[in-house]
Copies of this chain bind each other. A is one copy, B any other.
Amino acid sequence: MATIDTSLVAKLPLFAGFAPAELDAILLEARSIRIPKNGKVFEQGEDAHSFYVLLHGHVRASKVTLAGEQVVVRYVSPGETLGVAMAIGLSRYPATATAVDDSIVLAWPTAAWPRLVERYPSLATNTLRTVGSRLQETHSRVIEMSTQQVEQRVAHALLRLAKQSGRQVDNGVQIDFPISRQDIAQMTGTTLHTISRLLSGWEQRGLIESGRQKIVLREPHQLVVLAEQAPEGKAP
């Protein structure tokens, strides 16, 4: 088994405040796994055998409802943890994690978590911060869905994706992984038809440039304006 390079992970939030020797010890227990595009890291309902750190690529976490509808929970960027079910008291994964690009993850057996946490309590406090900020983000999403129109929500979603995983290209900022209209619909609680119409409109106005599973923000600032504009005068 090849050793994992410490420098790759030393700066991740999960390992903040760790000494190199500690990091080595922890990494010794991890395996590096390559997940091909469209492969699953884990599936909703499955026994939570491992937890992960994404090293490379992009992963979509999604849940299916009883009625069979899919909702995208979030997109995972390199450096983030995923599948930390045990840490938050779950024995099964609450969502399905799908690689949207060829990806590489570090995997630890879930069984190791309690022992690691006991030995390195910072793991718990660091994870607490991570889960806390995800809670904040999810609350923001609830608030958006409660108070904003579809157009604003979609603009926000694209801006967030661009900030998180944007790549500078000649004519703007491109979202750095394949994403379909359907995916955006499942992130914003709409239908792919509405997203298609919306993006077509924006494209005509020169705000974006889009193709098959590809979106470039040409005028991010204009999108910010759109995202923040209230339907009509609301603020006192």
A residues near B (Cβ < 8 Å) are: 63, 65-69, 71, 73, 87-90, 94, 117-118, 121, 124-125, 127-129, 131-136, 138-139, 141-143, 145-147, 186, 189, 228, 230, 234-236
Please state if A230 and B138 are interface contacts (CB–CB under 8 Å): no
Within the assembled complex, what's the spacing in Å between the Cα atoms of A73 and B141? 11
Please state if B87 and A128 are interface contacts (CB–CB under 8 Å): yes
B residues less than 8 Å from A132 (CB atoms) = 87-90, 131
Please state if A67 and B141 are interface contacts (CB–CB under 8 Å): no
Known contacts A65-B143, A67-B235, A142-B71: A124-B128 contact under CB 8 Å: yes
Number of copies: 2
Closest to A190 in B: B146
Please state if A69 and B147 are interface contacts (CB–CB under 8 Å): yes
B residues less than 8 Å from A65 (CB atoms) = 143, 147
Please state if A189 and B124 are interface contacts (CB–CB under 8 Å): no
Please state if A236 and B145 are interface contacts (CB–CB under 8 Å): no
With both chains docked as a complex, state the minimum distance between the C-beta of A116 and any C-beta of chain B, in angstroms: 12
With both chains docked as a complex, state the minimum distance between the C-beta of A172 and any C-beta of chain B, in angstroms: 26
The 6 residue pairs across chains A and B that have the minimum distance between CB atoms: A88-B132, A146-B189, A89-B129, A124-B124, A121-B121, A138-B138
Please state if A94 and B136 are interface contacts (CB–CB under 8 Å): yes
Most-contacted residue by chain B among A125, A145, A189 (CB, 10 A): A125
Within the assembled complex, what's the spacing in Å between the Cα atoms of A2 and B124? 33
Within the assembled complex, what's the spacing in Å between the Cα atoms of A131 and B189? 24
Contact sample, A vs B, 21 pairs, CB 8 Å cutoff: A67-B234, A68-B234, A68-B235, A71-B143, A87-B125, A87-B132, A88-B129, A88-B136, A89-B132, A90-B132, A90-B136, A117-B121, A128-B128, A131-B135, A135-B135, A138-B138, A141-B142, A142-B189, A145-B189, A146-B189, A147-B189
Please state if B88 and A133 are interface contacts (CB–CB under 8 Å): yes
B residues less than 8 Å from A69 (CB atoms) = 146-147, 234
